């Protein structure tokens, strides 16, 4: 029997994409996927380092896994424990020191080496070079068929926000070639995908050169969207995450002209206070952000926005926090994520004095209430409207299907016919929590 493997994925969609590729890589190398973590021959943890809680999860899972490994040893069976992803890149030595049962540590740009390493009797324990090109070259066509598929188009970050580990865990910015992305998108569509979500730490700084009329010319995100939208059968294009300073006119115009490009922009700001933005090294002010939102709304009427916020950043006063709430009030976000600041080892802000934890917790609660209320308000404005929904999954109930609107809101309907993969018009009847229920318009 082939050796079995299981991957547990933590963190962002870039990790989800990596895990999918790692799955395929191992399957094509003759390993068998299993849904039973504890009994697998190869247990892989694809980790996230963004906040302390995310990293600590790895160490508690490793504790459990090593006990399983020991038990297997007693009955003469082997288990490999492998750690990959951003914690692996950031603290490979620490992982091996804290848990002796870990066999290999692979950074996110090295996991393509795994099948080769597993076949060797003796191998290096830590692999953490930034081998972007080799990584993407090793990717085969995706074996998992879904209506909505992720494609990493760019990795790494050169922005160095002072709280963030990403520039250290994912390395310098790297953009995949247009040809590579186009080929992957086309094969996904041939295999049933209707929607492509382009991923990157900063997709808006995507840049790759192609030869046009005999000359080398750069392609940026707007043009990449235009190129991909020519793929027959592809119905929707999305991208995330963008940095405000990289959004250019070409991309905004593309949103205006390209009906396949969805009117939804995830545009993290982190704070509404200029003092905090400066200390975070975000490279933009609140006025710049508000001006950008105004400009985009002026050109693309139905555009909706989401964002990320950090509360309790070192030095954040009541007044700074009020400025964040004021900015939220001005923009009116469709949805957003908010986090309590977590000091990360090696980042410039980690040496700054943290604010009182109780105050940070109170602010987090307040911002989450405010953002939830805004999301509800945004959703309520769609009640009784007719919207186009791309159906991607079965619902929990009999004959129930779930899809998403152009603004990413989940919609539940009933249908006797299988409607997965179709874009259909739905009259929105009800809103429960954050999802809609409606009727198909025939």
Task: Write out the residues near ligand SAH by the rule CB under 6 A.
Answer: 50-51, 163-164, 166, 201-202, 241, 243, 268, 270, 308, 310, 339, 341-342, 344
Q: Which of 50, 105, 251, 293 binds ligand F3S (CB under 6 A)?
A: 50
What does 167 bind: ligand SAH, ligand F3S, ligand SF4, none (CB cut-off 5 to 8 Å by kind)? ligand SF4
Q: Which of 14, 114, 118, 199 binds ligand F3S (CB under 6 A)?
A: 14
Is the torsion defined by CA of 371, 10, 195, 248 positive or negative? Answer: positive
What is the token pair recorded at 10?
Answer: 């933590």
164 contacts ligand SF4 (rule: CB under 6 A): yes
- Convert residues 76-105 into a mask of x (bound to ligand F3S by CB under 6 A) and - (unbound): ---------xx-------------------
What does 339 bind: ligand SAH, ligand F3S, ligand SF4, none (CB cut-off 5 to 8 Å by kind)? ligand SAH
Q: Least distance from C-beta 108 to ligand F3S, angstroms?
A: 7
Q: Are 241 and 200 in contact (CB under 8 A)?
A: yes
Q: Which of 3, 159, 340, 366 binds ligand SF4 (CB under 6 A)?
A: 159
Sheet holding 264-266, edge to edge: 264-266, 304-311, 335-340
> Which residues touch 387 (CB under 8 Å, ≥6 apart)?
405, 406, 411, 425, 426, 428, 438
Identity of the residue, 59 or 339, whose beta carbon is nearer to ligand SAH in the bound complex: 339
What is the token pair recorded at 415?
Answer: 């249908």
21 contacts ligand F3S (rule: CB under 6 A): no
Instruction: Number of residues interacting with ligand SF4: please give it, by CB under 6 A.
Output: 10
198 contacts ligand SF4 (rule: CB under 6 A): no
Q: Any idea what DSSP says for residue 440?
A: E
Going by their DSSP bridges, the two strands 423-432 and 435-440 should be labelled as antiparallel
Q: Which of 19, 23, 41, 49 binds ligand F3S (CB under 6 A)?
A: 49
202 contacts ligand SF4 (rule: CB under 6 A): yes
169 contacts ligand F3S (rule: CB under 6 A): yes
Identity of the residue, 202 or 208, whose beta carbon is nearer to ligand SAH in the bound complex: 202
Is the torsion defined by CA of 126, 129, 135, 138 positive or negative? Answer: negative
Q: Rounded distance, CA 438 to CA 434, Å? A: 13
What does 147 bind: ligand SF4, ligand SAH, ligand F3S, none (CB cut-off 5 to 8 Å by kind)? none
- The number of residues in the chain equals 442
> Which residues touch 125 (CB under 8 Å, ≥6 apart)?
96, 102, 103, 104, 105
Q: Least distance from C-beta 303 to ligand F3S, angstroms?
A: 25
Q: Rounded distance, CA 244 to CA 238, Å? A: 16
Q: Which of residues 309-338 bind ligand F3S (CB under 6 A)?
A: none
Q: Least distance from C-beta 94 to ligand SAH, angstroms?
A: 18
Q: Any idea what DSSP says for residue 348?
A: G
Q: Which of residues 47-66 bind ligand SF4 (CB under 6 A)?
A: none
48 contacts ligand F3S (rule: CB under 6 A): yes
Orientation of helix 357-380 relative to helix 318-331, angle to 10°: 10
Residue 78 has a CB neighbour count (10 Å cut-off) of 11
Q: Which residues pair with residue 127 across a beta bridge?
A: 106
Cα 82–chain centre separation: 22
- Collapsing DSSP to helix, strand or coil, 409 comes out as coil
Residues at the interface with ligand F3S (CB under 6 A): 11-12, 14-15, 48-50, 85-86, 165-166, 169-170
Residues that bind ligand SF4 (CB under 6 A): 157, 159-161, 164, 166-167, 201-202, 243
């Amino acid at each position: 029997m082939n050796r079995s493997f299981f991957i547990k994925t933590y963190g962002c969609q870039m990790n989800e994409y990596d895990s999918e590729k790692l799955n395929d890589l191992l399957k094509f190398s003759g390993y068998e996927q299993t849904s039973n973590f504890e009994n697998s021959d190869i247990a892989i943890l694809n980790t996230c380092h963004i906040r302390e809680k995310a990293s600590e999860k790895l160490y508690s899972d490793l504790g459990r896994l090593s006990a399983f490994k020991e038990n297997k040893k007693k009955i003469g069976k082997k288990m490999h424990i492998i750690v990959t992803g951003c914690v692996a890149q950031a603290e490979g030595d620490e992982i091996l020191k804290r848990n002796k049962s870990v066999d290999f540590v692979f950074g996110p740009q090295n996991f393509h080496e795994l099948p080769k390493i597993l076949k060797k009797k003796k191998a290096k324990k830590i692999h953490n070079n930034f081998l972007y090109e080799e990584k993407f070259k090793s990717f085969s066509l995706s074996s998992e068929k879904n209506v909505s598929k992720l494609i990493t188009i760019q990795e790494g970050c050169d922005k160095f926000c002072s709280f963030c580990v990403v520039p250290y865990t994912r390395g310098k910015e790297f953009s995949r070639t247009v040809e590579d992305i186009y080929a992957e998108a086309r094969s996904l569509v041939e295999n049933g995908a209707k929607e492509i979500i382009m991923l990157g730490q900063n997709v808006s700084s995507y840049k790759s050169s192609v030869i046009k009329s005999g000359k080398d010319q750069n392609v940026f995100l707007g043009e990449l969207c235009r190129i991909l939208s020519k793929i027959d059968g592809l119905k929707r294009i999305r991208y995330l995450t963008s940095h405000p300073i990289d959004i250019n006119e070409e991309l905004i115009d593309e949103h205006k002209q390209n009906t396949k490009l969805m009117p939804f922009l995830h545009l993290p700001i982190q704070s509404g206070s200029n003092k905090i933005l400066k200390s975070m090294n975000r490279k933009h002010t609140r006025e710049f952000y508000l001006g950008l939102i105004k400009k985009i709304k002026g050109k693309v009427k139905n555009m909706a926005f989401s964002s990320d916020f950090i509360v309790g950043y070192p030095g954040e006063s009541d007044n700074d926090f009020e400025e964040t709430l004021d900015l939220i009030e001005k923009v009116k976000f469709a949805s957003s994520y908010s986090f309590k600041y977590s000091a990360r080892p090696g980042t410039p802000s980690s040496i700054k004095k943290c604010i009182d934890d109780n105050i940070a917790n109170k602010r987090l609660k307040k911002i989450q209430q405010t953002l939830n209320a805004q999301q509800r308000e945004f959703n309520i404005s769609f009640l009784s409207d007719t919207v186009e929904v791309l159906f991607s999954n079965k619902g929990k109930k009999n004959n129930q299907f779930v899809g998403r609107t152009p603004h990413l809101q989940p919609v539940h309907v009933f249908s006797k016919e299988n409607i997965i993969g179709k874009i259909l018009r739905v009259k929105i009847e009800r809103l429960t929590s954050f999802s809609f229920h409606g009727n198909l318009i025939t």
